[in-house]
Structure 1
Amino acid sequence: MARTSVRLLLVDDKDRLLLFVSHDDSDGHPYWYPIGGGIEPGESLAETAAREAREETGLSEFQLGPEVWRRRATASWGGVTYDCREHYFFVRVAAFDVDTSGFTENERETVKGHHWWTLDEMSATDDRLVPRDLRLLMGDLLVSGPPDELIFLTT
């Protein structure tokens, strides 16, 4: 099943990236990923970004930055395999306390926590980060800023 989604790279004023954690259905290992979710019928990418930020973090006012990456990957959850087509947007925000009270029932069941990650923490963890090269990609983004051309990720 095809699923188009928006992912937000929420980076605070300390250059920390907000990630959620879930556990892999196949092996139980934790994996961390940027906030976001599927596009609802009739929504634009920007509308999805605003809705997902509000629902997942309580953040309602922010400036949507540029789309920096696109990723296509296969993922399975809830017994369904998805052909994921993800749009990643870079968003600078002031540090804030995350409010997950807007989670859907599925998110309440599957998201096990969140953390504002530094690049050093990303380098030191044994947990899986999604996308796979997230630490290197974020390092480039924080040093050089958004790329001139969209980057297409394979994993």
Structure 2
Amino acid sequence: MRRVARVVLLDPDDRILLLHGHEPDDPATTWWFTPGGGVEGGETREQAAVRELAEETGLTGVRLGPVVWRRVCSFPFAGRRWDQDEWYYLARTDRTEVALGDLTELETRSVAGLRWWTSAELSSTRETVYPTRLAGLLRALLDEGPPEQPVVLPPDIVQGPGALAHNGGTHG
């Protein structure tokens, strides 16, 4: 089980930053996901979240808040199955100018860009977004604030190819 740290990064207008991913050999199948990736070496999840955010977006100096969600997911991506235990950290930034940063070789082949999303845009999009039900999760977070304990999301298990979106975790 791969340990993954993700960031629910919000700007001053309560927009969330998402990356646009696709299967390396099939750019037509796309999805959106939060920044983050796998814990490396002796890192803590917090350290991994900060490192991944800097690598993927160029944003540094972002202070993490609490873990707001946790989920276990399993999905096929880039020719293998990924089984992940993901923790989602809340963070805020005043910097809205972002660009893809120092990506790994696999990320370079599977990440097409990034953008800020409003809660309303997430609610109305027909595009695939991970974690599943992100629009409602974000709305609850904005309306109610961070939970006292992380919300444990239902497991997200994808059997066939094309659902890599869960991948938001191959980073790192």
TM above 0.5, yes or no, is yes
The question of whether the paired residues in 1 share the 8 Å contact of 2:100 and 2:114 is answered with no
When structure 1 is superposed on structure 2, of 82-91 and 28-37 the one drifting more is: 28-37
Q: How many residues align?
A: 154
Please list, as runs of the form range in 1=range in 2, the aligned pairs for 1:6-155 lying within 5 A after superposition.
Answer: 6-24=5-23, 28-154=28-154, 155=156
Kept in 1, the 8 Å contact 2:99–2:114? The answer is no
Alpha-carbon RMSD across the aligned residues, in angstroms, is: 1.6
**Letter aligned with residue 112 of structure 1:** A
For 2:20 and 2:124, locate their aligned partners in 1 and report how far apart those are by CA, in whole Å.
Answer: 16
Amino acid at match of 2:22: H
Q: Which amino acid aligns with 2:72?
A: R
Structure 1 length normalisation: TM-score? 0.93
Contact 2:100 2:113 in 1 (8 A): no
How far apart, in 1, do the equivalents of 2:71 and 2:28 lie?
24
User: What is the CA-CA distance between 1:49 and the residue it aligns to?
Assistant: 1.2
Structure 2 gaps, min length 5: 157-172
Cα deviation for residue 95 of structure 1 reads: 3.3
> In structure 2, the residue corresponding to 1:147 is in which secondary structure?
coil
Q: CA deviation at 1:138?
A: 0.2
Cα distance, 1:45 vs structure 2 = 0.9
Instruction: List alignment gaps of at least 5 residues for structure 1.
Output: none
What secondary structure does 1:13 align onto? Answer: coil
1:26: how far off?
A: 8.0
1:28 CA displacement: 3.9
Report the TM-score, using the length of structure 2 for normalisation: 0.84
**Following the alignment from structure 1 to structure 2, what is the Cα–Cα distance between the partners of residues 109 and 129?**
19
Seq. identity, %: 38
Change (3 A) 1:27 1:12: closer
